[in-house]
Amino acid sequence: MSRKYFGTDGIRGRVGEHPINAEFMLKLGWATGQVLGGGSTTRVVIGKDTRISGYMFESALEAGLSAAGVDILLLGPMPTPAIAYLTRTMHACAGIVISASHNPHHDNGIKFFSAKGTKLPDEIEAAIEEELDKPMVTVSSERLGKAERMDDARGRYIEFCKSTIPSRISLGGLKVIVDCANGATYHVAPSVLEELGADVVAINVDPDGLNINADCGSTNPGLLCERVVQEEADLGIALDGDGDRLIMVDHKGELVDGDELLFIIAVSRKENNQLFGPVIGTLMTNLGMEHALKAQKIAFERARVGDRYVMELLRQHDGVLGGESSGHIICLDRTSTGDGVVSALQVLATMVQKNAGLHELKQGMKKYPQLMINVPLARRIDIDSCEPVQSAVKAVEKRLNGKGRVLLRSSGTEPLIRVMVEGEDQALVEEQARHLAHVVEQVVGTRVGTA
């Protein structure tokens, strides 16, 4: 479906540039109220991450919703999955998240959750876009929406996170370094871990509105790797700015990515007879995970890249577990959306139950060498119907001789073609990825950049 504003994960862009400005957010709040405010429940939950523009957009959305006659419950800085959870438990008609996830502070965006704590259906997003094109009309004074702040949002979410692992499990004896990316988990994740008994060292927990995701968190875990080794910790946890992504670090300072974490959780679920349906990955999921799951007799399916598509396949197959290499992991048997803190707890619980370290648990999966190269677009191109590129793809696949994969896809958020080659032989993978990226570069006429 063609959309004017909504992408695969809400609305996102640079602050001050349309549509990420105060004027549009005012109208968006009103349009949302027009579409969602007609039922018996006319309350919308609003939360945000720690970027400075969140104050401006929170106020604008609040004003627009009030003008449409919808009440507002303000959560303040809270992780995206916490807003999904509180939307459900507070019986709101929708939840709004002001966040640009792992992007820098100069970006921001809006995500929506339904009353069930899931992403809004396409038809609701389309209805909101339709209202955006209409003149804004304010309801009469006696029908204006009221706003209030929810003072115990943090405590409610902390208790929920703790409830997602068995009460008998204690994290006592584990030393954990947690990197909160100066984002929305800064006042949540350390408390969850401490209350479960862990010895916690928290880093990047001093947000100033501008330092969210800046050289830290799940997209920049280098500092965390160093601190885990320096502090002789058992592991490290890296979250992103809005708390829905997770990367971990073992005691040796080695990264454990989303594929490896998903594998660890899947095996644990199977051993406890709690795994239903296939595990859902994406087109970018490492081939090593697919083979490792097969060895464990666990079914696996690939979705298009994006948590929206992972969720779609989970529902189609009545599955409970899926995720992406980036660390966006969905445990539908625990919560309704991807949650970095909840996912980390599933891994920690497995460590305690098996009395095993993270480094040991990841050994069941051998990652295949993989190289992805981003080719910036000088002009739009249908890569699937481009004969020179497709001929080159077939040639690379022939070189891999059935022991690897080739994937070309357009980025959903940037003007890029992503060229990925994966296989058993690292030298061959790198050689063929660079060759294929060069072919694509010649077609689109711009410069190659390695991911």
pTM assigned to the model: 0.92
- Model pLDDT, residue 381: 73
Q: How many helices (H) and strands (E) does the chain have?
A: 14, 19
Residue 423 to residue 428: CA distance in whole angstroms: 8
H or E element, residue 433:
helix 426-444
The stretches of 116-196 forming alpha helices (DSSP H) are 122-132, 153-162, 189-195
User: What is the CATH number that goes with domain 11-151?
Assistant: 3.40.120.10
pLDDT category at 448 given cuts 50, 70, 90 is low
- Model pLDDT, residue 275: 98
Whether the pLDDT of residue 300 is over 60: the answer is: yes
Residue 154 to residues 185, 188, 375, 378, 407, Cα–Cα distance (Å)? 10, 7, 42, 45, 41
pLDDT category at 310 given cuts 50, 70, 90 is very high
What would the two tokens of residue 451 be? 């991911």
Give the domain ranges of the chain: 11-151, 157-364, 370-450
Strands (DSSP E) contained in 99-234 are 107-114, 147-149, 175-179, 199-203
SS3 101: coil
The angle formed by the CA atoms of residues 91, 97 and 101, to the nearest 5 degrees, is: 140
Q: 331-348: per-residue pLDDT in tens?
A: 999 999 999 999 999 999
442 or 202, higher pLDDT: 202
CB-based contact 82:75 (threshold 8 Å)? yes
CB-based contact 309:283 (threshold 8 Å)? no
Instruction: Fold for 370-450, please state it.
Output: TATA-Binding Protein (3.30.310)
Dihedral in degrees, nearest 10, Cα atoms 422, 424, 426, 432: -50
pLDDT category at 138 given cuts 50, 70, 90 is very high
| Strand-strand pairing, 370-376 and 416-423 | antiparallel
1 or 231, higher pLDDT: 231
Residue 412 half-sphere exposure, CB side, CA atoms within 13 Å?
Answer: 13
Do the domains at 11-151 and 157-364 have one common CATH topology?
yes
| pLDDT-above-70 percentage for the chain | 96
* CB atoms closer than 10 angstroms to residue 144: 16
- Model pLDDT, residue 416: 86
Whether the pLDDT of residue 47 is over 80: the answer is: yes
What would the two tokens of residue 233 be? 């910790």
What would the two tokens of residue 376 be? 């910036």
- Model pLDDT, residue 411: 74
H or E element, residue 71:
strand 71-77
| Strand-strand pairing, 235-239 and 246-249 | antiparallel
Selected catalytic residue, list 53, 66, 99, 101: 101
- Model pLDDT, residue 9: 83
- Model pLDDT, residue 7: 85
Residue 225 to residue 412: CA distance in whole angstroms: 30
- Model pLDDT, residue 445: 63
101 part of the active site: yes
Q: Identify the CATH assignment for 157-364 out of 2.70.70.10, 3.40.120.10, 3.30.430.20, 3.20.20.80.
A: 3.40.120.10
Residues 6+ apart with CB under 8 A from 421: 370, 371, 396, 400, 404, 405, 406, 407, 429, 432, 433, 436
CB-based contact 255:221 (threshold 8 Å)? yes
Cα Rg of the chain (Å, integer): 22
Q: 358-375: per-residue pLDDT in tens?
A: 999 999 999 999 999 999
Question: Would you call 116 exposed, middle or buried from its count of C-beta atoms within 10 A (0-12, 13-18, 19+)?
Answer: exposed
